[in-house]
Each structure stands twice: as C-alpha cells, then as structure tokens.
Amino acid sequence: MTAGTTTPDIAAWPPLDEHERAAGRQLLDWAADDSGARPRLCLVRGAAGSGKSRLLAWFLAGSAGHPATTVHATVLAEGLTAESFAWAAGRQLGYGPLAPARLLDRMSEDERPVLLLVPDLHRAGAGPADLPAAAPAPLVTELLEPLLSLPHVRAVVEVGESGLLPADDAETIDVGDGATAHPGTGRQSFADLVATVPHTAEGRPDWAQASAPVLRHVLDAALRADDQGAAVRGLLSDPGFLVHGSVPALTAVLADERIAVPGQLRRVWRRAASGLTAQDDDSTGRAAVLHAAAVDTDASLTEFLRPLARRHWWSAVWARPDAPVTALALLPGAGRGLGLLAADVTGRLRTYDVDTGAGTDVHPGSGAGFVHAGSGAGFVRPGSLAPRDARSVLLLDDRADALLPWVPEDDPTAAIVLGHIAEYHGSQALAERDARVTALGGGPESPYAVVGDGSGALHLWSLTEYQDSPRSRPVHERPVTAVACLHLSDKDLTLVFSAGLEGSVRLWEASAEPMPDPVERRGSRPTALAAADTPVGPVLAVAWDDGELHLWHVFSGRVRTLPLLHPCAALALTPEGLLVVGDPEGLYAVRLRLDVLWEL
C-alpha cells in the first residue's frame, strides 16, 4: 500500500444487512489503513451462526476493487493441517505447493505486501485425535504466527470463540451470538455417514455419488469408530475413496505410521498429495495424478486406476525413477518411433525408447571414436542438448556455461559446423560476461539450434550448414533459462520459443522480429521448454518451478495446466503427444490426448 490510501466506499460493495454494517465498516477501515497505527492481524470472533462467514465472504467479494483491500490468498482452514494449509497458500501466492518451512522461506524473501484471508481457523486439524495435527494449534504455531511475524504480511482470521491467536495485538471484530446451528455431519457416526452414500451393484460405496460433507467427514468418523481400525482400513483399501475423499484428511491419516496401509499407498500418496489438492472435484484428474504417482511403485493400484485415468486428457505411460537425468532431447526421427537422448548426472549420454522408457544403449558419443572440444577439461555435465543427427550433438556444459560438440571422428562436416558454433560463443563469453551461454535447444525435425545467453539474447544457428555468425535478437530482460526450436517445413516457418529468468516465455518467428509481448509472464521461473508439431498444430510445453506445466496450443493461444509430481529440469515432446519429463529424480512420461486437449 502507498501512503494516502483512502477507505473504500462501503456503498460500492455488495449490500449488507443493517446489523452487519458496523462490522463491515470496521473491517474495511482496518484493511485500508496504511498508517501503521493498526495491527497487521484482524481477528473475526463470534459464535456459530453469528455471521462470521458471511462477513468474510462479503469482504472477499469486493476486495479486488481496491488496492488496499486486495486479498492475495484465501485458505479455508477447516480440516487442514499446517502442511495442507501451506500447499493451498503457496499455490495461490504463486510459489506452488510448498512445505510449511519452504513457504516461510519464500515469503520472507519476497517482500511484496500480502493480505491473507483465513476462515474457520478454529476448525483446523485432521488425523487421529491423539496426534497434535488433529487440533488447530500446530497450524497456528508452525505457520500462522511465523507468517504474521513478517512485516509485509497481514491477515484476517476467523477464530470463532477460541483464543487461538492473542487479541492483545490484533484488531478484533466481534459479531456476537449466533443463531441455532443447523445439524451437520461433523459428529455423525461412520455407519450413519456411509448409509447416505449410494452403493454400486457389487455393494461397494459409490463415492462419486457421495455428498461433499460426507467426503470431508467420513474418514474422521472412521477414526472414532470402535472397531479396531476396520473402518479406516476399509477406506484406505478402497481406490474409489482415494479418488474422491478429502485430500487433507487422507494426508493426515497416512502420515500416522501406526496405521497399516495396503501396498505402497503411503509412498504413492506422499508423492501425489500436493498435486491432488489442485484437482478440486475433477475425479478423472485426481485419478490421473494418483495413477501417475503409482506407476512405478504400486502395481495393483496402478491397474485399478488406469481406466479412469485414461479418460482424463493426460495419463501416465511409464516411469523410470532409476534414470536420473540433467538434459533431454529427441533424436531426429524420434517422433516416428526412434530414440530419446538423455544425459545423466555423471555426464554420460544414453538413449531410451520413447514409448516404453526402456534403455536402449549408451550413446556412441560417450565412447571411443568421438571427440569434443574441451575434451581435456575433465568432467562434463550436460545441461542441454541439441542433436544434429542420431550420432552428433551440441551440448551445453552446465559447469562451465560452455558449448561442446560431440561428433564422430569420421564426420568432419559435423565437427566443423558444431565446433564453430561452440568457438563463436566461447569467444563472445570471453569478451563479455553477459554473453555466456545459459540455454541451448533444438528440435527433432528442425535443422536449427537456438542458443540463449546471459544478456537475454537468442542466437539461431543452422546445424546442417556452416554459418559465420548466427541470426541474433535481444528478447529477454534477464538471462535465458530455456529454449526450444520448431521448424514447420510445410509453412516454411521457424518458431523459436524461449524462457527468461524474469518469468516470461516468448516467441520469435525467425523470419521476422520477436513478438513484442510475452506468450506468458508469471511470478514463477520457467525451467524447461519443449515443442512439437502435432496433428492439432504446434504445441509448446512450459515447466515452471511452482510445480505447474503449461501446454500451449501455439496458433490459438489456448492453454491447459498439468501438475508436476516431480521437479522438472528437462522436457521432450513427440508429435504424437508423448511428453517426457526429466530431472535428477528420474524420467517420467505421460500421454496427452490431443483430440480433447483443447476442448473447453
């Protein structure tokens, strides 16, 4: 906020009943006051049915209309632990689903003003009643109090009649006594809740037909059941409930190592949980995330979930957690069933079958009979790859920010072409530090490679013919983090895609000037790009460090978001819609249903 901000006109907001206007006026006065005289915490107190939730909903509905009152994250705390609260808050603030400690670190580093809205703090907590996480207090001590210690964070928190947060240093709005509460599902027995759920022809609960309150509370009721844990085990053994049940409740229960679980469910759920919270009520989306987490870990869960997951617009195909990689590239022709080239953490180049993930061979460039510039420089760790053909490749050594050609001794043309590209950028970096190479990419059907540097410039090179110098353009404001090149031979277009450290993705059609506006700009950092000419047109994949992967239909500008279950350092995309994600944790592939990907 800036000095001199005036209080918004309450008449411009949604209408309030007469008895609610005083509380609304106080909340607006607090939110708009930038003098520093008021505390940064506003507590909303009152009994059940007193109108607390209505007041907060009213405030949120009009908050975006005034800069001082804009809410940056709204997290309904009911049923959440510190972990699941941090996932939701981090995602809304643009950091992605982070653990509480990491969220605190990010918010302490990012000094932009933040206003949080937290309804139902007094109803927070999940899991077995004898564990601290079942109560709201750990969420307060582990996350909210540390957040409120940051000078740029303010919060409106609904606390009911509890004393969860001290009122001494807070603005307090007491909305008074409540009306008679309506009966709910919170304390109903497990048997009573399950009785409300329609059953399948086989007699199993059809959780897809269960009401939201039942899905939210049935696991808590199972924990209270006096049946030696049978109700809990039954829910955890039911894949239908895993797809539809409360993610925070399941996460809290599975965190308790005392509870026996089937197969490798605990490991699978830990991998999938934060991604599941982004799927809302999309059952096929949740099945796709859970199936992707199970593919390499739990065979029976994988098989059960596969039919539902395949109805979604993406689904996992294979996983290779035993294949850590630092760089990926499709070899020329790979989209037609050939290979995937990967560099591992030791610097070795290997090839994999795109459709199955099976390792096919150590790339010949890792063995005898191949030479590369700087071969006496010791260990090389490729961070990016641009193959010229199935045997020769230009790579970016992450340790030295230097390009190196790996070429067979019997291919002097490749040695000359790739060697000159490496020498050119090496000389540029010696002359000017900002000219150091920071990104390299190509395309399996493209005769070009694109180089990005520390100044934000892009340089387009032919991989088939010798060029004295590249076609270069200044594109980004900060260093380039990733590039991809797509040549459309039928249209005689070369599309260059690039990502910058400033958080933008840009497009340059190489026969013209780069587009003046970014394809996308976010508060996160893009980490990898891949592009392919598919049957539905060119598609661009962009991985971000907040755990999202965006798929762009280039000519229409339509975008879909896929949750990343692993950090992403490298991407590859085939024309048939197979997307491979790689990083030091392994290799993973998903199939995109291109026929429905862009349907609204």
Tell me if residue 427 falls in helix, strand or coil. helix
Topology adopted by domain 17-174: Rossmann fold (3.40.50)
What pLDDT, on the 0 to 100 scale, is given for residue 367? 46
How long, in residues, is the chain?
600
What pLDDT, on the 0 to 100 scale, is given for residue 2? 41
At the top level of CATH, the class of 319-592 is mainly beta
Helix boundaries (H) for 33-161: 52-63, 82-92, 100-109, 137-139, 145-148
CB 496 within 8 A of CB 450: yes
Lowest mean pLDDT among 24-38, 466-480, 547-561: 24-38
CB 62 within 8 A of CB 13: yes
Q: Work out the burial of residue 12: count CB atoms within 10 Å of its CB; fewer than 13 is exposed, 13-18 middle, 19 or more buried.
A: exposed
What pLDDT, on the 0 to 100 scale, is given for residue 280? 65
- Beta partners for 591? 315, 578
What pLDDT, on the 0 to 100 scale, is given for residue 7? 65
State how far the Cα of 331 lies from the Cα of 518, in Å rounded to an integer: 29
For the cut 50, the answer to whether the pLDDT of residue 44 exceeds it is: yes
Task: Record the tokens describing residue 6, joined without a space.
Answer: 């005036």
Domain spans of the chain, in order of start: 17-174, 190-312, 319-592
- pLDDT: is 338 or 13 the higher one? 13
For the cut 70, the answer to whether the pLDDT of residue 474 exceeds it is: yes
State how far the Cα of 516 lies from the Cα of 433, in Å rounded to an integer: 26
Count of C-beta atoms within a 10 Å radius of residue 535: 9
| Angle at the Cα of 235 from the Cα atoms of 231 and 236, rounded to 5 degrees | 115
What pLDDT, on the 0 to 100 scale, is given for residue 373? 46
Q: At what angle do helices 247-254 and 212-224 cross, to 10 degrees?
A: 20
Phi/psi of residue 192, each to 5°? -65, -40
Q: What is the mean pLDDT of the chain?
A: 89
For the cut 80, the answer to whether the pLDDT of residue 361 exceeds it is: no
What pLDDT, on the 0 to 100 scale, is given for residue 376? 45
Q: What is the pLDDT of residues 134-187, one digit of tens each?
A: 999 999 999 999 999 999 999 999 999 999 998 888 999 998 776 545 555 568
Sheet holding 537-544, edge to edge: 526-534, 537-544, 548-553, 558-563
Task: Record the tokens describing residue 351, joined without a space.
Answer: 């090839």
Phi/psi of residue 129, each to 5°? -65, -20
Q: Which residue has the tokens 């190592």?
A: 257
State how far the Cα of 275 lies from the Cα of 547, in Å rounded to an integer: 8
Q: What is the pLDDT of residues 228-245, one digit of tens each?
A: 999 999 999 999 999 999
What pLDDT, on the 0 to 100 scale, is given for residue 13? 76
Per CATH, 17-174 and 319-592 having the same topology is answered no
For the cut 80, the answer to whether the pLDDT of residue 279 exceeds it is: no
Determine how β-strand 41-45 pairs with β-strand 171-174. parallel
Report the range out of 15-19, 185-189, 276-280, 571-575 with the highest average pLDDT.
571-575
For the cut 90, the answer to whether the pLDDT of residue 192 exceeds it is: yes
CA atoms within 13 A on the CB side of 17: 7
Lowest mean pLDDT among 40-49, 100-109, 500-509: 40-49
CB 383 within 8 A of CB 327: yes
Q: What would the mean pLDDT of 260-266 be, rounded to a whole number?
A: 94
What pLDDT, on the 0 to 100 scale, is given for residue 36? 76
What percent of the chain shows pLDDT beyond 90?
A: 72
What pLDDT, on the 0 to 100 scale, is given for residue 360? 80
pTM of the model: 0.89
Q: What is the pLDDT of residues 408-458, one digit of tens each?
A: 888 999 999 999 999 999 999 999 999 999 999 998 778 999 999 999 999
